[in-house]
């Protein structure tokens, strides 16, 4: 069986790692892949946004199944495009992917389906939005409507910060056309969790909930990033709370899309905040999480490939999706300066020193550099992005997984490497609180 994996980040490396373990022993291709994925798959130099190039390759190589990692090709309609040529592909259609590609659509859809979420208003005109802002008094969130690589949502403590965010999005065009429309929402307070589920358009199979760490510095300080690390399962999301999230957020979303004639086959990701009034939806994503996938897939006991097939064939209800007990923690190593400007091409050392069977390193922004023949650095792995590596360890408890992963992180080095030292601390606090209250 031939599989094509689209993408080049840590999420895609985790998918390749898990798919390579399938009893079906698939032959893997990746477009474009990275230095880590190249250890498991044949990488081809086709961009994830090059739908025609990807389809041509899939047809020429007789690819049996394509798995899409990032959101952009889904938003561009790659699933519809592949279906038009009779190709099998895992992911939602362009219409269904609108639940991520348009925050305005998603919020209006939530309101229509009775999914609990924050109060919001939509604006296409800067002056109208500014007038509304000046009438508000509490903390707000200003969001660009379109895709912005996870950075288009700006949390504001004061009206002045909200006005600055509005200028950044609508006047300075920091996120390009993604800022043609903006959402201005009330800011909700509580802990956030990432709640994902496989879907075949009718049935769901939930992942262990995770908690991501967006801000770049310890203690949730500094600007937001694509994600500095995460852990699973999140003790915050008890079995009772997970059922409530399923009943009030995930199930209504799947049902609402089906009612529109857009059966959702893929992974549905709900960003949830647990407030004093209960869980509320912040946003939806139309794909596997990043870095969430790097903590979730090591806990998956079932064959991922067979689950993907069941989703696209509408028979997920027949599959038993099993998750092992224990916990996993992923710590992301970034280039110095990220999420702002950073340098590439820094040699990475220490990867060969990680031999722990309960740890794996997922590559995100890496490349294998070809140097002059006389150089000792020929073929070395170097940094090639903001988020460079995700080091993931799993163990019996969250505390043990944290200890294990940071022992391994210390072995990896590159110039100006940065990572948070507090990934998982929230989970320890949740476990302690449960122990005290119990």
**Mean pLDDT score of the chain, rounded to an integer?**
93
CATH no. for 2-91: 3.40.50.20
Q: Are 293 and 181 in contact (CB under 8 A)?
A: no
pLDDT digits (tens, 9 = 90+) for 124-150: 999 998 998 888 888 999 999 888 776
Between 93-102, 179-188, 205-214, 237-246, the lowest mean confidence (pLDDT) is in 179-188
Tell me 222's DSSP state: E
Tell me the average pLDDT across 230-250. Answer: 97
Q: Provide the β-strand partners of residue 198.
A: 205, 267
Tell me the average pLDDT across 226-231. Answer: 96
What are the DSSP E strand ranges found in 44-187? Answer: 65-68, 89-90, 120-123, 140-144, 153-156, 182-186
The model's pTM is 0.93
Tell me 209's DSSP state: P
What are the DSSP E strand ranges found in 207-300? Answer: 211-212, 215-217, 221-224, 229-232, 265-275, 278-285
User: Cβ–Cβ contacts within 10 Å for residue 344, how many?
Assistant: 15
Which residues 6+ apart lie within 8 Å of 312 measured at CB? Answer: 65, 88, 89, 90, 200, 265
CATH superfamily for 125-180 is ATP-grasp fold, A domain (3.30.1490.20)
The first and second tokens of residue 27, run together, are 């032959």
Buried b (16+ CB within 10 A) or exposed e, 88-124: ebbbbbbbbbbbbbbbbebbebbeebebbbbebebbe
Q: What's the pLDDT score for residue 376?
A: 42
Q: Could you state, in order of their start, the residue ranges of all structural domains in the chain?
A: 2-91, 125-180, 191-437
Fold category of 191-437 in CATH? D-amino Acid Aminotransferase; Chain A, domain 1 (3.30.470)
Q: What's the pLDDT score for residue 432?
A: 54
Q: What's the pLDDT score for residue 274?
A: 97
Tell me the average pLDDT across 331-338. Answer: 97
Q: What's the pLDDT score for residue 437?
A: 28
Q: Are 30 and 42 in contact (CB under 8 A)?
A: yes
């Amino acid at each position: 069986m031939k599989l094509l994996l689209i993408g080049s980040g840590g999420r895609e490396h985790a998918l390749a790692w898990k798919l390579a373990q399938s009893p079906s022993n698939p032959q893997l291709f990746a477009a474009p892949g990275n230095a880590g994925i190249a250890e498991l798959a044949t990488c081809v130099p086709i961009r994830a946004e090059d739908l025609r190039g990807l389809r041509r390759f899939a047809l020429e190589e007789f690819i049996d199944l394509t798995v899409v990692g990032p959101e952009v090709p889904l938003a561009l309609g790659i699933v519809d495009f592949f279906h038009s040529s009779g190709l099998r592909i895992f992911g939602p259609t362009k219409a269904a992917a609108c639940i991520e590609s348009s925050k305005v659509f998603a919020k209006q859809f939530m309101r229509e389906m009775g999914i609990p979420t924050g109060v919001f208003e939509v604006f296409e005109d800067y002056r109208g939005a500014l007038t509304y802002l000046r009438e508000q008094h509490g903390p707000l969130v200003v969001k660009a409507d379109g895709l912005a690589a996870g950075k288009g949502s700006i949390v504001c403590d004061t009206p002045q910060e909200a006005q600055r965010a509005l200028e950044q999005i609508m006047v300075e065009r920091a996120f390009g056309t993604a800022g043609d429309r903006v959402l201005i929402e009330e800011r909700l307070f509580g802990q956030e969790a990432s709640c994902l589920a496989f879907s075949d358009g009718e049935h769901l199979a939930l992942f262990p909930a995770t908690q991501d760490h967006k801000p770049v510095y310890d203690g949730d300080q500094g600007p937001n990033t694509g994600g500095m690390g995460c852990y699973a399962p999140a003790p915050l999301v008890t079995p009772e709370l997970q059922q409530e999230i399923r009943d009030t957020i995930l199930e209504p979303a799947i049902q609402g899309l089906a009612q529109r004639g857009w059966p959702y086959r893929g992974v549905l990701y709900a960003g949830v905040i647990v407030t004093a009034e209960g869980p509320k939806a912040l946003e939806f994503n139309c794909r596997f999480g990043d870095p969430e996938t790097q903590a979730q897939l090591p806990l998956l006991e079932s064959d991922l490939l067979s689950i993907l097939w069941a989703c696209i064939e509408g028979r997920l209800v027949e599959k038993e999706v099993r998750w092992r007990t224990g916990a996993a923690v992923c710590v992301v190593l970034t280039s110095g300066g990220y999420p702002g400007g950073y340098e590439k091409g820094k040699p990475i050392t220490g990867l060969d020193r990680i031999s722990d069977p309960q740890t794996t390193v997922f590559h995100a922004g890496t490349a294998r550099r070809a140097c002059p023949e006389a150089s000792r650095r020929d073929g070395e792995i170097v940094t090639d992005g903001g988020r460079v590596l995700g080091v993931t360890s799993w163990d019996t408890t969250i505390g043990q997984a944290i200890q294990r992963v940071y022992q391994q992180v210390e072995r990896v080095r590159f110039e100006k490497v940065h990572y948070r030292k507090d990934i998982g601390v929230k989970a320890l606090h949740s476990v302690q609180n449960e122990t005290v209250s119990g």
